[in-house]
Structure 1
Amino acid sequence: MIGKSIDELKVGDKASFTKTITETDVYLYAGISGDLNPAHINQVESEKTMFKGRIAHGMLTASFISTVLGCYLPGPGTIYLGQTLKFKKPVRFGDTITAVAEVISADQEKNRVILKTTCYNQNDEVVIEGEATAMPPKKA
């Protein structure tokens, strides 16, 4: 299976991925990444922070954008070239996050696509926003 090529993409195309963040997700990410910040894994210490409890790693949440790009839009074969991110709200254990990518420009000559990337929680609040640059797959 191959994703959409540059000539199949148009401004306004959208795709999304939704996942509920679990305590296990956060602990596995902490172990894989080495980010053992108490804000993520220590309830007692995290209660002393401005968040008043544990939060998910921002980059764990942002990784859902990669899922959208690599699996849905443009899809398999896509090369993820860059990303800007603004972390707007904390993500807590049990939050259901939807990552959305929307094509905002496509350059056929350079085979590049720019996508608006936004992650929302279950209350439709923006938790992350940014832009991704990707190289869609070429048709065989």
Structure 2
Amino acid sequence: MKDFAIGSVPITEIEIGMKASYSQTITDSDIKAFAGLSGDHNPVHVDSEYAAKSRFGKRIAHGLMSAGFFSAIFGTRIPGPGCVYVSQNLNFLRPVYIDDTVTAEVEVTKVDQEKRRISFDTICRVKGKKVITGSAEIFIPEK
């Protein structure tokens, strides 16, 4: 199977089993920016003293920040520009910490050319361990 780089993949070329991925290292400024954008200033994300006393032992990234990397794949790799989310479900398995590199991966599980919808399995990993699993459905408008 091809691993697609930046670009758009026409629905007629999308096949079950196709994969794409995106990686990014989480920084302190990413977490602060996400807190500002989302309004989620939970101290487990933004307060080192509070987080040190939590079950995580230190600050963790917002789960939806890592899950947002799926959107980067869908909008730039497969299917590509113009597609829109229909649905996404998420299971948060492990925390993501500052300086962790998150790799988001998607794999096509279903192609409905008539409805122009593609289904995907979605996984985020840190150091080879799953931190998020789920599935997504994407709609590809006609151009």
Give the TM-score, by structure 1 length. 0.94
Say whether 1:35 aligns with 2:40.
Answer: yes
Report if the CA contact (8 A) 1:70-1:78 is conserved: yes
Label 1:90 to 1:57 Cα distance change in 2 as closer, same or farther (>3 A). Answer: same
How far has the Cα of 1:5 moved from its partner? 2.5
- Distance between the aligned counterparts of 2:32 and 2:66, measured in 1? 13
Alignment match, 2:121: 116
Does structure 2 conserve the Cα–Cα contact (< 8 Å) formed by 1:3 and 1:137? Answer: no
> Aligned match of 1:128 in 112, 119, 132?
132
What per-residue deviation string (whole Å, max 9, x for no partner) do you get for residues 86-109 of structure 1? 001000000000101110010111
Partner of 2:3: none
In the TM superposition, structure 1's runs of 4+ consecutive aligned residues that sit over 3 Å from their partners are none
Which TM-score applies when normalising by structure 2? 0.92
Unaligned runs of 5+ in 2: 1-5
Out of 3, 18, 26, the position equivalent to 2:8 is 3
From 75, 89, 98, give the equivalent of 2:94. 89
User: Aligned partners of 1:60, 1:44: CA distance in 2, in Å?
Assistant: 22
Residue identity over aligned pairs, in percent, reads 41
Mapped to 1, the partners of 2:141 and 2:77 lie a distance apart of 12
Report deviation, 1:79.
Answer: 1.0
Structure of greater relative contact order (alpha carbons < 8 Å, 6+ residues apart): 1
Aligned length: 138
Task: After superposition, give the CA deviation of every residue in 1:114-138 in whole Å (9 maximum; x if it has no partner).
Answer: 00000011x1000000000001243
Aligned letter for 1:127?
A: V
Kindly state the Cα deviation for residue 4 of structure 1 after the two structures are TM-superposed: 1.8
Could you tell me which runs of 5 or more consecutive residues in structure 1 were left unpaired when the two chains were aligned: none
